[in-house]
Amino acid sequence: MVTETCAPSIVLTGFMATGKSSVGKVLAARLGREFVDVDVLIEAEAGKRVADIFAEEGEATFRTLEARAIERLQGRRGVVIATGGGAILNPRNLAVLLADGLVVTLTADPETILARVRSAQDRPMLWGYESLERIRRLMAEREAAYRGAARQVDTTDKSIERVAAEIEAWLAALPPAALPPVAERVSVRLEPAYKILVGDGLLAHAGRYLRPLQLGRRLAVVTHPELDQRLGYAPTLVGALRQEGHEVTLLTVPPGEESKSLERAGALAQEMVWAGLDRAGGVLALGGGVVGDLAGFVAAILFRGVPFVNLPTTLLAQVDSSVGGKTAVNLPEGKNLLGAFHQPRLVLADVRTLATLPEREFASGLAEVVKHAMIADARLFSYLEENAEAIRRRDPEVLRAVVARNCAIKAAVVEEDERETGRRAILNFGHTVGHAIEAALAYGTVTHGEAVARGMAVAAALSVRRDLCSPADAARLTALLRRFGLVTAPPPPLEVLEKYLHTDKKRRDGRLQFVLTLGIGNVTLAPLSTTDELRAALRDVS
């Protein structure tokens, strides 16, 4: 699991001898960025010069090495990259480079190029063909690919410094809307590996982020009517996808846990089949945890699995349910009892969508934020205490940092235990009682976060009773939850919850397993000794 924060990369491409490497070094120095030369990466892997690769193994081997080097750059941001002249002729290479940066094509007239390469020994594509005719023919073959760049700069009769200065000035003049948003990235190393991008304004650029996935032309977007009609998030996403040439089918489901049913999942799958979706296409979830769970479940079972992309729009979904590949629908007997593990190909968490969340729903997501700090990160807990007001104001910079850190915590746990056979159970801190409260009070009466907040308070009280956690740490937990508008009512008595505790998925050999806190930032899994012990803990937080 790796986290990065940086601006888009600048990718220099163009015909040979237009100055990509030379300009790239100078531009990187002017911008204070790292410079990456794809040819240098290739030579490092092959253990020989590019010219020798061409001479000894041929162009096909070089192109394979080139594609491999560019693949390794996927997700790399904030650098200046120089590519070989033919790199972007490969659509996959171009998609990877475009997803993370702005492409600038350097040009020069054929006569200038010929003069620059005449005495060079490292231009394998021109060996034996050092003529204007050969240069013009190659340039014509590549013109369409080069023309698709965000900017073209003619290097004829210009110094390296002047070309770099022109690119720098162009970048400075670009309006913010033209730049891919600054995003924090969490790399999740599962099979398949994928990235979580967290930033402000990602939905409008969703198409570029999907390019490296090479999904089919037809996509299905599952969302709520409000995100489509009132808030306009669905039109923003669909427009970004259609700009990339995708045919998009928009499917809406009512909000609420009632939508997470087998019947609704079957209806969605039918509509996707009728729309012509196939295994090369993809299912995209735009919404909160309900949409993510439901759309992910459909993606897992349709054609025995199609690519899934999650675009969570609630805080709860961004920090929790969108990470880890758990998809599910409900049964009358309990929540999430039918499900599948189906990892997303990409998660885009646009914190701009959090600005329109109702206060109660935003607070619900903060319960999971606090949970992650409690189970794994005392420093994050302190950060939440120090920045509680900025978080309540929904400051985009603070939210970006908080969401990314939460995703990183969950990703680390999921990487270690994808199928929830061991350590992943710690993510259920507060959920044993929380899920029972949700079911006992009827779904929708309390939010998931409100229920989990009460569950965490009960788990902390139980931990204090076992001398695992200090009363001071338990008090800090309760105080922070209250600052976020949570734990305002006592949990129901044990007699009300007991029926639903019996269906908890963490039961082992008939015994209820609890995630207990050892103090802020550390938890353990332990069986419940007696129901009297739980009854007393419930009374402690009443």
Domain spans of the chain, in order of start:
2-178, 183-357, 411-540
Please choose, from the candidates 21, 38, 22, 28, the residue with its C-alpha nearest in 3D space to the C-alpha of residue 7: 28
Which range has the worst mean pLDDT, 25-29, 144-148, 256-260?
Answer: 144-148
Strand bridging mode 194-199 / 218-223:
unpaired
State the catalytic residue, choosing from 424, 454, 476, 506.
Answer: 424
- From the list 224, 264, 326, 345, the catalytic residue is 326
CATH topology of domain 183-357: Rossmann fold (3.40.50)
* Domain 2-178 and domain 183-357 have a common topology: yes
Q: Are 189 and 222 in contact (CB under 8 A)?
A: no
Q: What is the mean pLDDT of residues 275-297?
A: 95
Contacts of 159 (CB under 8 A, 6+ apart): none
Is 372 one of the annotated active-site residues of the chain?
Answer: no
Tokens at 455, concatenated: 């569950």
Can you tell me the mean pLDDT for 194-219?
90
Q: Which residues are within 8 A (CB) of 405 and not within 5 positions of it... i.e. 6 or more apart?
A: 3, 372, 377, 380
Active site residue 410: yes
Instruction: Name which of 132-146, 427-441, 499-513 the model is least confident about.
Output: 499-513
**C-alpha to C-alpha distance for 395 and 378, rounded to whole angstroms:** 22
Tell me how far apart the alpha carbons of residues 409 and 480 are, in angstroms, rounded to a whole number: 19
Catalytic residue among 33, 400, 410, 476: 410
For the chain, give me the number of helices (H) and strands (E)?
Answer: 23, 17
Q: Is 48 a catalytic residue?
A: no
Catalytic residue, from 20, 77, 372, 448: name it. Answer: 448
Return the structure tokens found at 441: 């009070």
Is it the case that residue 276 has pLDDT exceeding 60? yes
| pLDDT digits 0-9 by tens, 174-192 | 886 667 777 788 888 888 8
Q: 448 near 528, Cβ under 8 Å?
A: no
Provide the sign of the torsion angle of the four alpha carbons 234, 237, 240, 241, taken in this order: negative
Q: Is the pLDDT of residue 1 over 50?
A: no
**Which among 130, 226, 271, 420 is annotated as catalytic?**
420
Separation in Å, CA 240 to CA 209, 249, 290, 331: 10, 13, 23, 36
Top-ranked range on mean pLDDT: pick from 139-148, 197-206, 290-299? 290-299
Residue 25 bears catalytic tag: no
Distances (CA, A) of 94 to 63, 214, 247, 541: 13, 11, 21, 57
**Catalytic, out of 352, 435, 476, 506:** 435
For residue 275, is pLDDT > 80? yes
Dihedral sign of CA atoms 214, 299, 240, 218 in order: positive
| pLDDT at res. 122 | 57
Residue 419 falls in the annotated catalytic set: no
**Confidence (pLDDT) at 421:** 73
Q: Which of 368, 372, 406, 438 is catalytic?
A: 368
Between the alpha carbon of residue 196 and those of residues 185, 193, 322, 365, 404, the distances in Å are 6, 10, 9, 18, 8
Taking 90 as the threshold, does the pLDDT of residue 496 lie above it? no
Average pLDDT, the chain: 89
Q: What is the mean pLDDT of residues 451-457?
A: 94
* Whether pLDDT at 389 is above 50: yes
- Note if 226 is an active site residue: no
**368 catalytically annotated:** yes
Q: Which residues contact 164 (CB under 8 A, 6 or more apart)?
A: 23, 26, 27, 30
* CATH code reported for the domain at 411-540: 1.20.1090.10
> What separation, in Å, do the N-terminal and C-terminal C-alpha atoms of the chain show?
39
d(C-alpha 60, C-alpha 139), whole Å: 20
Catalytic residue among 158, 352, 428, 450: 428
Catalytic residue status for 195 = no
Residue 505 among the catalytic residues: no
Is 260 a catalytic site residue? no
Does position 129 have pLDDT exceeding 70, yes or no? Answer: no
Indicate which residue of 431, 454, 476, 506 is catalytic: 431
Which residues have CB under 8 Å from 539's CB, separation 6+?
Answer: none
CA distance 374 to 381: 7
CATH of region 2-178? 3.40.50.300
Query: How far is Cα 228 from Cα 317, in angstroms, rounded to an integer?
Result: 18
Determine contact, residues 115/28, Cβ cutoff 8 Å.
no
Confidence of residue 101 (pLDDT cuts 50, 70, 90): confident
Which of these is catalytic: 133, 263, 304, 508? Answer: 304
**pTM score of the predicted model:** 0.77
